[in-house]
Copies of this chain bind each other. A is one copy, B any other.
Amino acid sequence: MREITFAEATLEAMKEEMEKDDTIFIMGEDLARQGGIFGQFKGLPEMFGTERIIDSPISETAIVGAVIGAALAGMRPIADMHFADFMGITMDEIFNQMAKIRYMFGGQTIVPMVIRAPDGLIRSGAAQHSQSIEAWFNGIPGIKVVAPSNPADAKGLLKAAIQSDDPVIFFENKDLYRQSGEVPEDENLIVPIGKAKVVKEGNDVTIVSYSIMMKKALEASEILEKEGYSVEVVDLITLSPFDEETVIESVKKTHRLLIAHEAVKRGGLGGEIAAVIAEKAIDYLDAPIIRVGAKFTPVPFSPTLENAYRPKTIDIVNGIKSMF
């Protein structure tokens, strides 16, 4: 199968959807002349014009607010956040408007929109350009949150997000953009929102992960397999509301669970997953539930500190070994 990058996969998704549906438009900073800060919108301005690929002022509040308003007026817009770190600026629009409009108005409208949010560490991006904040949205009813870990899922999931009548936040790790992978040449490729995927089967322990950490989860599983552990790896894909069933099924089989994400361990999504298992499947557990995540500090600038901050493959390996 052909290989394309993660960024290209998202480009294809947008292009295919925009060709079919002219209510889709994209708004964000530096789209028109640069194709987005990571090139993930390249070519679209030429293809669809700057009426549909809109360069906005540095007004994150207005970007998300306007996209919500446009969705209420019948469009299916996409907003680009530039860096997920800037979502704090527009948190009111996200949680008090976008997430609640359908519900608090008694179902009078849909709010079909996607927020694309590039997140995660990037070489020395430092405190305000490196964060993973997906856990914030987990307790906010009315939003769906997804985070693909590879090009094929990126394409199928972005298409699903665009087609969804519910508002979707699409976290995409900045380090994934250039990674290549097989993506079927299928205009109808859809990765359903709400479903996790068992990407590797195993019997002794389950690793639940997502986004960029999937790479380390798989690396760790290979290391561990060589040492005789049979590791199952689940890619969460949809972070909120997450697919409890798939995780529970896996834990019932393996009896051990490690959750890994790049976000700070404390307060991360791992807490929710661990809690669900500790409530619904504790009797199946043969070991503590271990969470691997970044250290509890802002992201430091210096490479040595950034490296100390970052969660690593070895943390997963050691975490799992400690369970036996």
Contact = CB atoms under 8 A, between A and B. Distances in A.
Interface in A5-51: none
A58 interface: no
A297 interface: yes
Interface stretch (A132-140, A160-168, A184-192, A209-217): A132-140
A315 to B, nearest CB: 13
A288 interface: yes
Nearest to A240: B267
A324 interface: no
Interface string A82-106: 0001111101111110011001100
B128 A139 contact: no
A270 interface: yes
A60 to B, nearest CB: 8
A267 B135 contact: yes
A154 interface: no
A268 interface: yes
B267 A274 contact: no
A306 to B, nearest CB: 12
The 9 closest A-B CB pairs, nearest first, are A139-B267, A88-B92, A138-B267, A274-B275, A88-B91, A91-B91, A271-B271, A271-B275, A278-B289
Given A103-B297, A136-B136, A137-B267, 7 more contacts: A85-B96, A100-B128, A103-B127, A103-B300, A104-B126, A140-B267, A271-B274
